[in-house]
Chain A
Amino acid sequence: MVYKTHIIVIFLLSNIIFSQNDIALVNYKIIKIDDNSSGINKYESINDSKILKKVKEITSSLDDVECQLFFDNKTSLFKTKEKLELNDDFNYKMAKVLAGGIRYKNLNTKEKIERRNSLGMTVNIFYSFDEYKWTITNETKKIGEYICRKAISTKTDIDTVKNEEKVFNVEAWFTNEIPVPFGPAGLDGLPGLVLEASPNGKIVFYVDKIIFNYSSDKKLLCRPKGGTNFSEKEYLTLLQKKFLEFKK
């Protein structure tokens, strides 16, 4: 009888311990893929080398940008880590834009939301839950201690300058060993955690560290509150309209 009671107590305790810290944290960093491009190609009218030099300075600040993905078994939240001491640094601000806004994903409600400050307001952009139609390849590689598989996809966006569609080639390396469909900057929806991904072949998000049982604070996975809601299409239409107004 005493033996049985001990087993029940141990079982209950282990449940409590696991449920206490069920939120994991993945830290991602960003690097620029060196493509050796001059930067002056598509836009022939641009020949200001000083501006180009200034743009290239963003690369050195990418190292300061730390991205965090919090997740449990149903929800994830991706955001850049606050670094108050760098908030006034111009290149850092620009580098942060590359990481995107706060990304929230909920498997129960099938929601995928990006929250950002844009057009002078706080906007919530609602993406299709299956934002990426992935093709999983047979290519594998080891990232840290995990065997990862490569998946590819495309993403159509609007070039607001030329007012035409632009297609990005997307690549992600995910591991089945951590079977959650989450990843950095909305690069998710695969049968395992994304440890490395490029949204465009120009920059790469790569995993820096993973901490399981990081926290039990459910506030880390809060759905964005307030702000103006847009579908992805509505938001892009609004951006185009704004750009056309500016051109006038």
Chain B
Amino acid sequence: MNWFKILEIMKNVLSLILFLLVVSSVSKAKDNVYFFKVDEACWDMAYHYSLHAAEEYGLTGAQRELIMEEAYESCLEW
């Protein structure tokens, strides 16, 4: 009888561990996808922003690059 109870508890504990592992990996995967999306979106925004700025204000290559860097960093903070 005791053995049966012990096995039952172990089964529950294992199920719980499995469940936690699954939840953790799903959450990590979600985090990675989210980070990737933000990163890409910011680069895209910063790139187009710098192109518009270059057209609008006659920026040199160096100034456009600075604008892009600043826009990208600001986007990550938003």
Binds B, one of A93-101, A206-214, A220-228: A93-101
Complex interface: chain A residues within 8 A of B59 (CB): 97-98
Give a binary string over A214-248; 1 marks a CB under 8 Å from any B CB, 0 the rest: 00000000000000000000011001101100100
Taking the complex as formed, is A157 at the interface, i.e. its CB lies under 8 A from any CB of chain B? yes
CB contact under 8 A between A32 and B57, given known A52-B52, A161-B51: yes
CB contact under 8 A between A55 and B62, given known A43-B51, A90-B74, A161-B51: no
Q: Write the chain A residue with the least CB distance to B70.
A: A93
Taking the complex as formed, is B28 at the interface, i.e. its CB lies under 8 A from any CB of chain A? no
Binds B, one of A1-9, A34-42, A129-137, A175-183: A34-42
CB contact under 8 A between A160 and B56, given known A55-B49, A97-B70: no
Cα distance A97–B69 in the bound complex, in angstroms: 11
Cα distance A64–B70 in the bound complex, in angstroms: 18
CB contact under 8 A between A116 and B66, given known A46-B48, A46-B52, A51-B49: yes
Binds B, one of A18-26, A67-75, A144-152, A197-205: A197-205
Q: Is the CB of B55 within 8 A of A160?
A: no
Give a binary string over A109-126; 1 marks a CB under 8 Å from any B CB, 0 the rest: 000000010110000010
Taking the complex as formed, is B42 at the interface, i.e. its CB lies under 8 A from any CB of chain A? no
Q: Write the chain B residue with the least CB distance to A62.
A: B57
Taking the complex as formed, is A54 at the interface, i.e. its CB lies under 8 A from any CB of chain B? yes
Q: Is the CB of A46 within 8 A of B51?
A: yes
Q: Number of A interface residues, CB 8 Å?
A: 43
Complex interface: chain B residues within 8 A of A48 (CB): 48
Complex interface: chain A residues within 8 A of B67 (CB): 94, 97
Q: Is the CB of A55 within 8 A of B61?
A: no
- Nearest chain B CB to A103 CB, angstrom units: 13
Cα distance A23–B69 in the bound complex, in angstroms: 35
Complex interface: chain A residues within 8 A of B69 (CB): 118
- Nearest chain B CB to A87 CB, angstrom units: 12
Q: Is the CB of A118 within 8 A of B65?
A: yes
Listed A/B pairs (23) with beta-carbon separation below 8 Å:
A32-B57, A39-B55, A51-B45, A51-B49, A55-B53, A55-B56, A58-B56, A58-B57, A94-B71, A97-B59, A97-B63, A97-B66, A97-B70, A100-B63, A159-B61, A160-B65, A161-B64, A166-B61, A200-B58, A202-B56, A202-B58, A203-B57, A243-B65
Q: A58-B56, A98-B63 are in contact. List 16 more A-B contacts (CB 8 A).
A: A51-B48, A51-B52, A52-B52, A55-B56, A90-B74, A93-B70, A94-B71, A116-B62, A116-B66, A125-B62, A160-B61, A160-B64, A161-B64, A202-B57, A203-B57, A239-B65
